[in-house]
Amino acid sequence: MQRGIYPYQGKGPDRCTQMKKQKEPAIRAITKWTIIIAASIILFILAKEVALQERGYRAIGGEYALLTLPFLYYAAEISIKDYIKANRENKECNK
């Protein structure tokens, strides 16, 4: 089979399977992060309105911390995955 300059130029089901495997994680990641970022923005807007009603004037307060939620989520996700991976490796070594 002759390959061109573009990956997966071959014929057959193998090409489609390889392309699909690459697209699925990317689409899943984009969807996940879009939802997380949108949720943090919505929460911020709601918290900003509640803070304005409670204070009676516009000010910068703790509601701005909600904008850091995607970063906190990312850090927590990586930490949890690393912890689970380390525990699995320890269990395999102790057998």
Question: Each residue of 41-86: pLDDT tens digit?
Answer: 999 999 999 999 999 999 889 999 999 999 999 999 999 999 999 9
Identify whether 5 is part of a domain: no
Q: What is the DSSP string of 23-60?
A: HHHHHHHHHHHHHHHHHHHHHHHHHHHHHHHHHSS---
The domain tally of the chain equals: 1
The answer as to whether 4 is a domain residue is: no
Determine, yes or no, domain membership for 61.
yes
Query: What's the pTM value of the predicted model, to 2 decimals?
Result: 0.65
**Stretch 6-35: mean pLDDT:** 72
In a domain, residue 66? The reply is: yes
- Does residue 33 lie in a domain region? yes
Task: Report yes or no on 17 lying in a domain.
Answer: yes
Categorize the per-residue pLDDT at 40 as very low, low, confident or very high, splitting at 50, 70 and 90.
very high
Cα 60 from Cα 76, distance rounded (Å): 26
- Provide the phi-psi class of 18: left if phi over 0, else alpha when psi is between -120 and 50, else beta: alpha
For residue 53, the enclosing domain spans 13-94
In a domain, 83, yes or no: yes
Within a domain: 3: no
Q: Residue 42 carries which side chain, given as an amino acid letter?
A: I
